[in-house]
């Protein structure tokens, strides 16, 4: 296990993203921030605390990965939002953008519910791996094509509680 992005760098970057989000939504109504469970939960908790603009919190569960390191290519809604998003500005918060299959699907289903706008914040982005286009507005860090864990990200549900984003090396 090797540290790729330290907790300190994550914290500093989140402050920058939150400042941009505050500026972008200035004068608008509450921002409806949607956490994509479970991987985004730590990023989400830190990001919403750094945002000054009024927010509403909700959670959605999506699964596309089995227990392996590669996507099954099949996306499943495992938990829906609790409330209607019609007419709201939506910010989807995701841990990592990889093939893009998950977010592409999520944007499609949320778009049908007639929000005022949808933007995406992703802590990590692996641009080389993209298979589906995803319009991502706020990216924490672009990373190379390596499997990472920690700060919410898992390998077969392990390592989510690490404070740093680490590369899981083959043993
Ligand atoms: P996509 O649908 O291929 O873009 O995959 C996005 C989802 O795959 C993320 O929400 C993660 O749960 C998972 N994922 C992709 N790459 C990694 C990784 O390097 N480590 C842990 N999970 C990953
Ligand atoms: Mg995941």
Cα Rg of the chain, angstroms: 15
How far, in Å, is the centroid of ligand 1 from the Cα of 29? 31
Which CATH fold would you assign to the domain 8-144? Answer: Rossmann fold (3.40.50)
Residue nearest atom 11 of ligand 1, based on CA coordinates: 96
In this structure, which residue's CA is closest to atom 3 in ligand 1? 99
pLDDT in tens, 52-62: 999 999 999 99
Q: Please provide the average confidence, as pLDDT, over all residues in the chain.
A: 94
Could you state, in order of their start, the residue ranges of all structural domains in the chain?
8-144
Mean pLDDT of the 130-146 span: 96
Ligand 1 atom at shortest distance from the alpha carbon of 101: 2
What pLDDT digit, counting tens, does each position of 82-128 carry? 999 999 999 999 999 999 999 999 999 999 999 999 999 999 999 99
- Whether the full predicted model's pTM is greater than 0.75, yes or no, is yes
């Amino acid at each position: 296990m090797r540290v790729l992005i330290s907790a300190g760098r994550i914290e500093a970057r989140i402050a920058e993203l939150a400042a941009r989000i505050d500026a972008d939504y200035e004068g608008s109504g509450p921002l409806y921030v949607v956490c994509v469970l479970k991987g985004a939960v730590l990023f989400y908790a830190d990001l919403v605390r750094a945002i000054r603009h009024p927010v509403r919190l909700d959670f959605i569960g999506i699964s596309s990965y089995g227990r392996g390191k590669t996507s099954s290519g099949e996306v499943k809604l495992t938990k829906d939002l609790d409330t209607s998003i019609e007419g709201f500005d939506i910010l989807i918060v995701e841990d990592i953008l990889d093939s893009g299959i998950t977010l592409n699907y999520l944007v499609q289903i949320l778009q049908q519910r007639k929000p005022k706008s949808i933007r995406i914040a992703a802590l990590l982005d692996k641009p080389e791996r993209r298979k589906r286009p995803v319009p991502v507005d706020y990216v924490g860090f672009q990373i190379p094509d390596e499997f990472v864990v920690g700060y919410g990200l898992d390998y077969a549900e392990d390592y989510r509680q690490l404070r740093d984003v680490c590369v899981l090396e083959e043993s």
